[in-house]
Structure 1
């Protein structure tokens, strides 16, 4: 599994905004502080967002896999069912 792989810093994102908005929580994209996965609601939202083509297009395929793996793990932890389609 690629969960420890590096996600590159995105020029279009300010990681401090994610920290400011959500606090010190776990993010599926830890580099850019995107896709918080600390609550069931955030897990569902993160899964929905990363599965939108325009959001996924901002990452390479390996990075999308890392993000999805982290969301899947968080979903298990929070007992959230996500649609794998």
Structure 2
């Protein structure tokens, strides 16, 4: 299952910044503390950001699939409709 895919640590990110900004929340990318998915607003924003080519390009294909699956799962929890 791709949802269990490990996401590599990115050199261009400081994970403590994400934690400092958002607190101890669930992130679609837990390794780098990117794309918080703890509120409906964050889920919508995460989906929007990961679908920008420049953001997705920072991950390999499998990692993007994993992040998107995690965002979709959070969207279901908040009853948010997401279009691919």
TM-score by length of 1: 0.97
**Counterparts of 2:16 and 2:78 in 1: how far apart (Å)?**
25
Rounded Cα–Cα distance in structure 2 between residues aligned with 1:75 and 1:62: 20
Per residue, is there more helix in 1 or in 2? 2
Q: Once the 2 structures are TM-superposed, how far is the Cα of residue 82 of structure 1 from its aligned partner? A: 1.2
- Number of equivalences: 84
RMSD: 0.5
Partner SS state of residue 3, structure 1 = helix
Scaled by the length of structure 2, the TM-score of the pair is 0.98
Structure 2 gap segments, 5+ residues each: none
Are 2:71 and 1:71 equivalent residues in the alignment? yes
Distance 2:4 2:82 in 1: 22
Unpaired segments ≥5 residues, structure 1 = none
